[in-house]
Every structure is written in C-alpha cells, then in structure tokens.
Amino acid sequence: MSNYFNILKWSPPRILVFGFAMIIVLGAFLLTLPFASNDGSRLPFIDALFTATSATCVTGLVVVDTGTYFSIFGKIIILALIQIGGLGFMTMATLIALVLRKKISLKERLILQEAMNQTSMEGIVRLIRRVIIYSLTIELIGAVLFTIRFAFDMPFGRAVWFGFFHSISFFNNAGFDIFGHFRSLTMYVSDPLVNIVSMLLIIFGGLGFVVMADLLEFRKNKRLSLHSKVVLSTTGTLIAVGAIVIFIFELSNSKTLGSLDWGGKILSSFFQSVTPRTAGANTLDYTQMRQATVFFTIILMFIGASPGSTGGGIKTTTFTTMVGAVIAMIRGREDIVLFHYRLGKDRIFKALTITMLSLTLVIFVTMLLSTTEDQQFLKILFETTSAFGTVGLTAGITPELTYFGKIVIAITMFAGRLGPLTLAYALGPKTEKELYRYPEGKITIG
C-alpha cells in the first residue's frame, strides 16, 4: 500500500514513463502467447518486447513480419497498443473515466498536461474530449475509404479488417502493415486513392490535436494561434521541399522513381516526403534509394512531427525555433520573431535542450550499434534515427539485429516516443529553485 501512495506522489513525467513501460511489458507478454502467432509457436520474449515497444511507441520497426507471423489475436493486440500509444495511455484512461462519469482529479489533469505537451491545465479535459472525437472520426473515415479500395483486391470482410488496421496505424503514425512479406504499400505505389488517403491520415496525425482543434474552429474564431501557424507553415514547407528533393535525387533511379509514369513519380515523391514525418509506411524500397536520398530522409525523420501529436522527432516547432535563432543571430537581432510574435527565452532554451539531447542520443546509439552490428554506417544511422523519431522506415537491417541491438533500438524508440526531455525530468533528481544568480561572464563564441 505504501508503494501505491509513493507512485501517487511521482511527478507527471515519471508517471508517464512508468505507464508506457507497463503497457509495453503487458503487450510483450500477450504477444508471447502461442495463439498470438499463426503457427502456434511462442515468439521469443526479446522479439515480443521489441514489437510491443514499436507498437506502443507508434514506430513500426519490426523483427518479424506482422502480416504473416501474427494471428488475428496478435494483430488485435498490436492494433490496441498502437491506439493506446498514439493517443497516450492517459487519454485512454480519461476516455474510460468520462464514459463512467468519473471526475478528473487535479493530479490526473497535471499528467494530461504533460502528456499533451501543453503549457496550461486550462481546458485540458475539453481538449481530451476533442482529441478522442477527432481521432475516432478521422480513423473511421480513413477505414471506410481504404475498405472501398481494398474490396477490389480481396474479399469484403478482409477488406474491412485491412481498412481499419491501416487507418488506425497510419493516423497514429505507426507504420505497421499486414500485407505481408515486409511490403508495406509498395504494391500501391501509383494508386491515387491509397496514396492520398494514407498521406492525409499521416499528416492529420502528425499535426497535433491542438492544431486540428484550431482548424475546426477557424470558421467561428476567424484566427489561428501562433502555435498552429508555425506548425502548418513548417509542415507544408517540409513536405514541399522534401518532395522536390526526393524527386530530383531519384528521378533517374530505375529501381525507384525511374520506372514509374509521371503520375507515379509525383505521388511517390510526395509520399516519401510525408512518411518520414514519423509514419513509417512506404511505397518505394528504401534499400534501393541513393545515399543522398537516404541521408536527406534521416534529416526529415530527425525533425519529425508536431507537439501533442502521435509522432516523434524533435518536432516542427523546435526546428523552426532553432532556424529562427540562426536567422536572428545572422541579422544581429536579439529576439526570434515568428508571425509578429516574439518568442520567450524559455522557449528558445527548451528548443536548444531538446535538439542537443536528441542529437546526443542519436549519435551515441549510432556509435554503439556500429561496434555491435555488422552493417553499413549509413544504414545504422538511418535505423537509429527512425527509431528515435518513432518513424518505422527501415534500411532492411532490423530483422538482422543482434540481441543487444534489439534492446538498444527498443530503448531508443521508448526515448523517442516520450521525448528526451520528459525522460530527463522523470529519471533525474528533483531540482530546487536557485536562491541567487552568479555574476555575468563573457566568453568568445565562434
């Protein structure tokens, strides 16, 4: 009983870390059961733990083929982990509380604030209600559209199952697919409906629920918040620039864009630009792409999605803040100004901290795996960044990882989903406010 009360006294970041870890362990146990696999065999615990971590952290990296290895029971467990991990276990707990008409306590509101990456508790329960409604509505629409398309290729019942699975997976930016043989969406590389629906699900899931609420209320309010403006402009720019760069790099590559018609080239360029925003689905084989494209994709994966979304990475707002700091310094200005608003120093320090912690994590894990895995350096960097950004794109080395490599990548996915800063707050000692300030000193920079 005393341990229970100790847990109640934990900080919100620590509770989030503990909650996600417990869900992963439970999911791993369920995936090791004989009836979770098609042939009745038990999945080794390390592989089950890796799969559960990938699903809960909405990544999509897999060591066994989801479509052919797991039974319907196993796939339902993976889908449940994706939904819980994408929306957040506290969001799901709040949904249950709202259904049962239970009051949300102050402690629970603080945890929700941390989980949704909000600066205030004001309206947090109302936001959670919207998150649940928007998510389920978008997933349902995506499932219906997928079902209509898949019904041309398979029996209707199977098409419905495939439609729901992939709609939930793509909206939550998980990247899991059940087409089998690690194919993802490569068979639909030139299909407009599958490509467009998938991209819209990925984009909506990666924008963040605050931005979606802002967009839906735009007709009434006639204005967008600064956060929404930054997210939308950065997302649009990254997608457009990414599509152009990928189109240029891969246009003459006969193993990727070169063999497609012009419609397929354009669709594929945009899809491969959208999916590194932590989605993980792909219509082209990344093992056949040029090294320049692979490295550019690594950059997109590192940036990732937006705050309060189902995606990972350092986030679009962090990236824009860092770019704004560089521009301000070059122009000799003291303030970072975005859409006629000045950013506070705390926002800048937080962006810098997140970027440095994330970069340090990716570099450390890449160096570590370079000594334990017999793979090319670029492939290891790609896989590491994909795990950190909870993307799920692969250079083909995940199933070949050593026991140690699987553990390291699983930890990287966990850190990427929660965010390095949240982990630092959760695992670090409690800090006390300083009672004094040191005199200002000057050092030479650059």
Q: Do the Cβ atoms of 294 and 198 come closer than 8 Å? A: no
The DSSP symbol for 224 reads -
CA dist., res. 303 & res. 305, Å (int): 7
Classify residue 23 as exposed, middle or buried by CB count within 10 Å of its CB (0-12, 13-18, 19+): buried
Give pLDDT, residue 4: 42
Boundaries of every domain in the chain: 8-424
CA dist., res. 114 & res. 152, Å (int): 44
Give pLDDT, residue 113: 57
Give pLDDT, residue 5: 40
CA dist., res. 94 & res. 416, Å (int): 23
pLDDT in tens, the chain (446 residues): 444 445 445 666 677 778 788 999 999 999 999 999 999 999 999 999 999 999 999 899 999 999 999 999 999 999 999 988 887 655 655 555 555 555 655 555 555 555 555 555 555 667 677 778 888 899 999 999 999 999 999 999 999 999 999 999 999 888 899 998 888 899 999 999 999 999 999 999 888 877 888 888 877 878 888 889 999 999 999 999 999 999 999 999 999 999 899 999 999 999 999 999 878 899 999 989 999 999 999 999 999 988 877 778 899 999 999 999 999 989 888 889 899 889 888 888 889 988 999 999 999 999 999 999 999 999 999 999 999 999 999 988 999 999 999 999 999 999 888 876 666 655 555 556 666 777 877 776 66
Give pLDDT, residue 76: 95
Give pLDDT, residue 417: 84
Give pLDDT, residue 2: 44
Phi, psi of 69 (to 5 degrees): -85, -45
Distances in Å between the Cα of 186 and the Cα atoms of 108, 154, 197 are 43, 17, 15
Using N-to-C axis directions, what is the helix angle for 192-207 and 209-216, rounded to 10°? 100
